[in-house]
Amino acid sequence: MQSQNRFRPNRRSILIGGAAALGALPLLPRRARAAEWPTRPVKLVVPFAAGGTTDILARVVAAKVSEEFGQQFIVENKTGAGGNIAADAVAKAEPDGYTFIVGTPGTHAINKFVFKAMTYDQIKDIAPVIIIARVANLCSVTNSLPVKSVVELIAHAKSKPGELFYCTPGLGSTAHLSTELFKSMTGVDMTHVPYKGSAPALTDLIAGRVQLTIDNLPASQPFAEAGQIRPLAVSTATRWPLLPDLPTIAEAGVPGYEAASWFTIGAPAKTPKEIIGRLNASVDKFLKTEDGIARLRKLGAEPAGGSPEDMQAYVLAETEKWGKVAKFAGIKPE
């Protein structure tokens, strides 16, 4: 009898084993869904209008991951409120791996210092996936403005306080804070004209309806190369490799000046880590290929990559940095 009882499970062990099995059940379908993902089109939500840097980079990445996964990654432009409308929509979307945001410093770091009514938390509500690229900003002016250097721009702006209009892709964009930093460090007085993306802003710059911008290089560079706007300098601490003859703003007249932009992919919080990991691996692989590096550099962007944890650490550091810039520039939430 003792030998039989020794191998007979007691009621308590049956209950514990059953509970453990039940607890594991939700993990099985989730992992299965992640392994099969994607089974339908995936949205990459871009917070700005078509034609700007965010949109351009999103479409390059979307085309590549569409090839790899055999499903369409569709770019959806959702403009307004400096990117907040798009970010809020993604933050509140179903965390099923079919909605992502192509984020910027605005949506992920700056807007909290610019807008009073924030409807999402960029750290708690948006999960990091990957940093796509970092880019310089290009300080450029309309051709009708009689300046050919940063020093001449400063002198001209000081001679006409409040009369020069600078354009940006939106309130809270890096173009906005980059120019406000420029104003703070030079003492010039210029008026901000925010647009819903780089494309409409640059259209008005070409037409002379606004006088200058310090906007992302990939969006501005084609118009500068075509002679439609006049480039003066880049915003980074060192000269941009593909534009070695163009000075930095710091060496062209504003010592210590430095600003840059970056572009990421984020997901609604609680998106399965397995899905985030698969998308991260796909994009990271592309960014490290010769083709990926060449294509992004041709657009004026420097490929980044890395893990979701790398992106989170970077976003936190940038949030602290741009918060100091916003305070230094005297920007108040509106």
| Residue 15's pLDDT band (cuts 50, 70, 90) | very low
Percent of the chain with pLDDT over 70: 90
Choose the final residue of a domain: 214, 241, 260: 260
Choose the final residue of a domain: 206, 226, 260: 260
Integer Cα distance of 157 and 151 in angstroms: 10
For residues 224 and 322, state if they share a domain.
no
Beta strands in 210-311 (DSSP E): 212-216, 229-234, 260-268, 301-303
Residue of 20, 62, 63 lying closest to 44 (CA atoms): 62
Contacts of 15 (CB under 8 A, 6+ apart): none
The pTM of this model reads: 0.78
Choose the final residue of a domain: 260, 281, 300: 260
Residue 144 maps to which CATH number?
3.40.190.10
Q: How many domains does the chain have?
A: 2
For residues 194 and 217, state if they share a domain.
yes
For residues 130 and 265, state if they share a domain.
yes
Q: Does residue 30 form part of some domain?
A: no
Residue ranges of the alpha helices (H) in the chain? 2-6, 11-24, 27-36, 53-69, 84-91, 105, 111-114, 150-159, 174-186, 198-207, 217-225, 273-287, 290-298, 308-329
Strand 99-103 relative to strand 126-142: parallel, antiparallel, unpaired? unpaired
The per-residue pLDDT for range 64-95, each reduced to its tens digit, is 999 999 999 999 999 988 899 999 999 999 99
Q: Does residue 25 form part of some domain?
A: no
Q: Does residue 248 form part of some domain?
A: yes
For residues 211 and 181, state if they share a domain.
yes
Provide the domain limits for residue 229: 136-260
Contacts of 27 (CB under 8 A, 6+ apart): none
For residues 129 and 170, state if they share a domain.
no
Residue 114 maps to which CATH number?
3.40.190.150
For residues 123 and 226, state if they share a domain.
no
For residues 166 and 223, state if they share a domain.
yes
The per-residue pLDDT for range 209-248, each reduced to its tens digit, is 999 999 989 889 999 999 999 999 999 989 988 889 999 9
Q: Does residue 85 form part of some domain?
A: yes
